[in-house]
């Protein structure tokens, strides 16, 4: 398996101490829920940050720096895949600039989405890809950046653990098709470019169990 530090060095990224699988630091839950979350965001992302609709991502337990980056990327239109354009550009534009950090901290403090059992064959294949990559096509292990338990590594690498399969597949397709291009150094466009449709289904099934 390729080491995250090696990949990060090759990319010129700084990786914090703490190895693959290290949990992101979770702040204590703020007593107060930002008003916009209750009136707007919860309708799609769920009152606990865990959504009921598989194409809407869970936000609970996601790293605050990643959430802030995404909200800003929607606002300045650097995240421009079809679902971003049609749904999140408008939502993000409605967030007052001085509320972005508060909203990100709120979702980051929520308990991450629980895993769910999936088809064992898909899960086994997905686990092998996720932890080991594919040497012949130089596909790096996802675990090298996202952690072996999918908990992510702040500030750059998002949590994937428990995320909805349909959402994960949609993002991998968007990266592969170069419709989502807000990833630093095109890293996810390169990674997803090496994935087949079958690989994506297997990876998403495994990620959902984490
Ligand atoms: C109508 C449904 C809907 C509402 C309301 C909504 N979102 Fe979203 N949100 C989505 C969808 C769909 C995506 C996936 C966008 C994509 O594929 O690029 C998303 C993505 C996101 C992401 C990126 C998550 C990731 O893992 O990359 C963040 C952050 C986010 N929304 C925050 C918010 C906030 C904050 C609000 C309230 C102001 C909000 N959303 C309201 C549907 C919604
Ligand atoms: C070299 C590091 C690296 C590797 C290896 C890597 N990723 Fe990523 N991944 C990232 C970064 C950085 C982002 C955040 C991009 C951004 O800022 O928008 C990301 C984002 C994602 C997202 C979008 C998350 C969201 O909430 O929208 C998914 C899904 C994803 N990666 C899946 C994978 C899978 C599956 C693999 C293995 C096949 C993998 N990644 C390998 C660095 C990596």
Percent of the chain clearing pLDDT 90 (strictly above): 81
Nearest ligand by distance to the CA of 159: 2
Residues in the chain: 210
pLDDT number for residue 8: 46
47 backbone dihedrals φ, ψ, rounded to 5°: -60, -25
Residue 56 CB less than 6 A away from ligand 1: yes
Return the pLDDT at 15. 42
Is any atom of ligand 1 closer than 6 Å to the C-beta of 118?
no
Ligand 2 pocket check: which of 135, 176, 188 to mutate, most ligand atoms within 8 Å of Cβ? 188
Ligand 1 pocket member 61 (CB < 6 A): no
The per-residue pLDDT of the chain, averaged, comes to 89
Give per-residue pLDDT as tens, 124-156. 999 999 999 999 999 999 999 999 999 999 999
Rounded distance, CA 150 to CA 207, Å? 7
Lowest-confidence segment of 13-27, 46-60, 91-105, 118-132 by average pLDDT: 13-27
Give dist(CA 105, CA 100) in Å, integer: 9
CA distance 138 to 141: 9
Q: Among the atoms of ligand 2, which is closest to the Cα of residue 130?
A: 37
Q: Report whether pLDDT(85) > 60.
A: yes
Residues whose CB falls within 8 Å of the CB of residue 119, separated by 6 or more in sequence, listed in order: 205
Determine which residue's CA is closest to atom 13 belonging to ligand 2.
Answer: 157
**Nearest residue (CA) to ligand 2, atom 22:** 171
To test the ligand 1 pocket, which listed residue (24, 35, 38, 44) has its Cβ within 8 A of the most ligand atoms?
A: 44
Give buried/exposed letters for 57-79 (b at 16+ CB in 10 A, else e).
bbbbbbbbbbbbbbbbbbbeeeb
Tell me if 184 CB under 6 Å of ligand 2: yes
């Amino acid at each position: 398996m390729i080491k995250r530090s090696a990949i990060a060095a090759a990319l010129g990224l700084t990786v914090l101490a703490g190895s693959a699988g290290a949990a992101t630091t979770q702040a204590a839950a703020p007593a107060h829920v930002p008003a916009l979350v209750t009136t707007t965001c919860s309708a799609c992302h769920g009152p606990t940050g865990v959504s009921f609709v598989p194409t809407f991502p869970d936000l609970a337990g996601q790293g605050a720096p990643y959430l802030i980056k995404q909200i800003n990327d929607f606002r300045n239109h650097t995240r421009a895949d079809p679902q971003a354009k049609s749904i999140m550009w408008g939502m993000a534009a409605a967030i007052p600039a001085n509320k972005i950090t508060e909203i990100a901290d709120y979702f980051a403090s929520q308990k991450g989405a629980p895993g769910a059992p999936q088809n064992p064959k898909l899960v086994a294949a997905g686990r092998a890809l996720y932890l080991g990559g594919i040497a012949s096509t130089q596909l790096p292990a996802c675990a090298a950046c996202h952690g072996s338990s999918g908990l992510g590594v702040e500030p750059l690498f998002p949590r994937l653990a428990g995320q909805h399969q349909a959402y994960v597949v949609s993002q991998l397709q968007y990266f592969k098709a170069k419709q989502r291009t807000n990833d630093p150094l095109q890293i996810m466009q390169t990674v997803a470019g090496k994935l087949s449709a079958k690989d994506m289904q297997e990876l998403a099934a495994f990620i959902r169990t984490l």
